[in-house]
Copies of this chain bind each other. A is one copy, B any other.
Amino acid sequence: MKQRATDDTEKAARRSAILDAARKLYLEDSRQLPSAARIAEAVGLAKGTLYLYFRTKEEIFLALLAQEFSSLLQLVQDVFTSTPVPPPSEYLARYVAHLDRHPELLRLDSMAYSVLEQNMGEAQLRAFKLGLTQGLVAAGALLDQALGLPPGRGTTLLMRTYALTRGLWQSLDYPPAMRAVLADPVFAPIRPDFRGELTEALAEYWRGALLP
């Protein structure tokens, strides 16, 4: 990395490096957002420099989340613009696989509700939410087209799909400290196998949703 990021490309790279460091640190201990000091140290920048690229620590977190959502939505495009159009089940399979490869996504998202309250300007929240919505609507439109759904229906499907995903995650993914607890047979009925449970639940939901 150059000593100074002077043009826009270099600046974007630096921004990106900060996000990468934050993600990495977060995965090491996802009980809490890494401190600004640790992130700075990990990127090899001074604390103050972080604040040239993000106005608050929460903004870093939000940018990370935006990246994650963006790549999740990208999947819709990847799947439904290929020909012949694959069946929804293929999308769901790849969706689950994507979440598996990006364990930070649902963890970050599950902290979002608490974090967003704390230190975010309305404008920043709006921008974040707007970007998300636009991506969602665009992906939904693709779905409408590929599956011959009425306009807007794809967006709804995607949103409910993600809602079910997030809800299940929070029921089934427990902090390390909790893992031991869940091994106990009394917990069998809630089978803490996120991937299998998600696959099945989504299949049920989509079956109901796509009924004529």
For chain A, the bracket of interface size reads 35 or more
Number of identical monomers bound together in the oligomeric complex: 4
Inter-subunit contact B190/A136 (CB<8 Å) = yes
Residue in chain B with minimal CB distance to A127: B181
Alpha-carbon separation in the docked complex, A186 to B135 (Å): 12
A160 at the interface (CB under 8 A from B): yes
Alpha-carbon separation in the docked complex, A133 to B122 (Å): 39
A52 at the interface (CB under 8 A from B): no
Binary interface profile of A, 175-192, with partner B (CB < 8 Å = 1, else 0)?
A: 101101110101101100
Inter-subunit contact A189/B152 (CB<8 Å) = yes
Residue in chain B with minimal CB distance to A207: B208
Inter-subunit contact B31/A117 (CB<8 Å) = yes
Q: Which residues of B contact A118 (CB under 8 A)?
A: 31-32
Inter-subunit contact A113/B116 (CB<8 Å) = no
Q: Which residues of B contact A201 (CB under 8 A)?
A: 160, 163
Alpha-carbon separation in the docked complex, A163 to B161 (Å): 11
Alpha-carbon separation in the docked complex, A110 to B67 (Å): 22
Interface residues of A (CB under 8 A from B): 31-32, 110-118, 120, 122, 125-126, 129-130, 133-134, 136-137, 140, 152, 155, 159-160, 162-168, 170-171, 174-175, 177-178, 180-182, 184, 186-187, 189-190, 201, 203-209, 211
